[in-house]
Chain A
C-alpha cells in the first residue's frame, strides 16, 4: 500500500542563531521523547556548556509533564508525558527558555574538580592488550611494545610515552556527559593545547579491566566495569562505579562522576594504585573532590582565544605525524 510521506521528516521546529546564541533544532524522537540540538554536527564544548544552562533552566521552569532529560555533548534528549504536555507546548516552552538563559559567555557552570590517581601504562591494561594481540589481532598496529601508549605518542607526533603522560596530566578533563554504560564519562580536555586524538581499535577489544582509561577520537573515557571496548588504553585509575557502595563516595549514588565534573590525573605507580584500590573497597580512602567551584565560560573563552596559535601549531604537528602511522 503506497504511503504518503509526511513532508517534515525529522524536524519539529528550529530557532535561528541570534547574536552569540547558536541555532537550535527540535527533532522528533517518537511519541514520548524529543531531541534538542545546538549548532552543527561538530565538537564544540561551548555547545555543551549551553546544554547545561538550558537543562538547569528547564528544571527550574517547573513545566508540568517533564519526566527526564539526558544531556549529551551538543544535544539533549527529553522524555515527557505527552498526554499531559503536548509536544507543541514543550517546544514553545523550550524556545521561550532560550530567550531567558544567559548567553554562553555569561554562564557560570557549577563544576566539581576530582583528582584521580592514575597508573600510566599499568600492568592490568597491559595484560588485556597482550591478550588482544594473542587472540584477536596479531598485527594490530596500535599495539607497540605490548601497549597502546607508544602508538598514541606516534599518532600525535609526541616523542615518547613520557610526553603523552605529560600532555594527559597538563589539562583538566571536562566530563561532557555520561552515557553508553552505567556511569561512563565522556571527557574532553579543557586546555586544547594538549588535545591528543586517536583512532579506535579495529576490531574492538573483547576485554578491558575495570578502571581502565582510554582515548577514542578526542574523547577520554573511564571503563566503569570490565567490558569490551574500542579506545586506546593509557592507564588505570580507581573505581568510579560501585553498586555495593563500599566507599562513602558511593553512599548517595553508585556513580561517582557527574556531567560537568572536571577530572585531573595524578600519576602513581602500579603498587600505589593497588594499595589505594584496596583502601577504596575497605571504605578508608577519601576521594579527592573539590566541591562546587564554577566554570566561568567568559574567562574560559578568553583563555581559548589566547592559546589559539599554540593549538594550531600542535594540530600541524599532529597532521604531519598521522601520515607516518598505520591506522588499525
Chain B
C-alpha cells in the first residue's frame, strides 16, 4: 500500500493500454513515453505493461505503508527518499514509513514510478489505464488526489539494477521527430508541406495526453480542411483550418473530420510527449521502410541497457 501525500498537478495510473477498443471510440491511453515506462517496470521486475504512475511536470509525494521496491524514470524530476537524494533509473528498496518525493521536472514532462508487483486497481474494459476525458480506468477515472491509497500486487523483491548512463534519453534541445507523410498529405500545398518539414514548431501549454498543440508557420491546405471523419492513428498530425498542427497522442479521439498531413512514428511519440511547453520541435519525413528499420532499432534499444548494481 502507498498513500499519496501530495499528488502533483496530474498523476495517473497507466498500464500497457486499453487495446482493441478504438472501434468503440475508446483510445488506448497508457504511457505517453513507452520507453521510460517499460524500463521503470523492468527495473522492479514487472512485466512491461504492469500498472504504474505517470506524473506531469511535477511529481507526487507519497508514503510507503509496506516495504516495496520502486523505480523512477522519465522526466528529470529531482528524487528524494526521506529528504535524501536518491537515484533515478534504478531499483530502490523502500521500507515502511519511507516518504518519496519527486520535484519539478528540469527537463522532460512525464515521469514514471513503477512499483514491484504493479498497482492493483480494477480492470476496466481489460485495462487499468486512466482515460481522463472518458473518466474511466485507474482510480475512479481521475487523476490522483491527496490521501488516495493504492494497493500493490504481491511480488518478490527484485534484484537491484540500474539503466546505463549511455541509454538515458535526453529530453532537452530541439528534437527532430520522424514522420511518415499521409494519410492526407495530398490535401496540402507544396509550401504547406515545406513549412512542416522545414521549420520549427513550439509546443503550447494547452497540450495534454490527447494531443500536443504546436505553433509555427502555417501548414496551408489546398482545398479545405474538412474530410468525412476517419480513424485516427496515434501520432497523426491533424491540421485544422488555422494551419497549426496538433500531434494526437494516446488519449486522442478515435475518429475525426480534419485533414492529417503526416504521422509521427511510434518510436518518436515519447519525444514529442516529453517536449515542454515553449520547447521547439522539428519534423523530418522518412519512408515507411526507413520507419520500420528505425522501429526495429528502437525495439532493440530497450534490451541490454540494465546492469546489476554492485554491492
Residues of A within 8 A of B (CB): 3, 5-6, 9-12, 27-33, 35, 37, 41-43, 67-77, 79, 82-83, 86-87, 177-184, 186, 225, 243, 253-255, 259
Contacts and interface: CB of A to CB of B under 8 A. Distances in A.
Given A10-B183, A10-B184, A255-B25, 8 more contacts: A9-B182, A10-B186, A30-B265, A33-B233, A37-B230, A67-B20, A72-B228, A225-B135
Given A3-B197, A6-B285, A71 B266 contact: no
B146 to A, nearest CB: 25
B16 to A, nearest CB: 13
A82 B184 CA distance: 21
Specify which of B135, B185, B193 lies most central, judged by the most chain A CB atoms within 10 Å of its CB. B185
B25 A29 contact: no
Contacts of B285: 3, 5-6
A178 B184 contact: no
Given A6-B181, A180-B256, A181-B253, A30 B25 contact: no
Interface in B245-269: 253-256, 260, 263-267
Interface of B: 19-20, 22-26, 124-125, 134-136, 141, 179-186, 193, 197-198, 227-236, 253-256, 260, 263-267, 284-285, 287-288, 291-292, 294-296, 299
Given A41-B227, A83-B295, A181-B134, A3 B124 contact: no
Contact of B254 (A9, A29, A41, A179): A179
B24 A30 contact: no
A10 B285 CA distance: 12
B20 A180 contact: no
B265 to A, nearest CB: 5
A58 to B, nearest CB: 13
The 6 closest A-B pairs by CB, nearest first: A77-B231, A30-B263, A179-B255, A28-B182, A70-B231, A33-B233
Nearest to A219: B229
Contacts of B265: 30-31
A31 B298 CA distance: 12
Contacts of A83: 292, 295-296, 299
A201 to B, nearest CB: 15
B202 to A, nearest CB: 20
A77 B135 CA distance: 25
A27 B25 contact: no
A212 B186 CA distance: 37
A70 B181 contact: no
A31 B295 contact: yes
Nearest to B176: A1
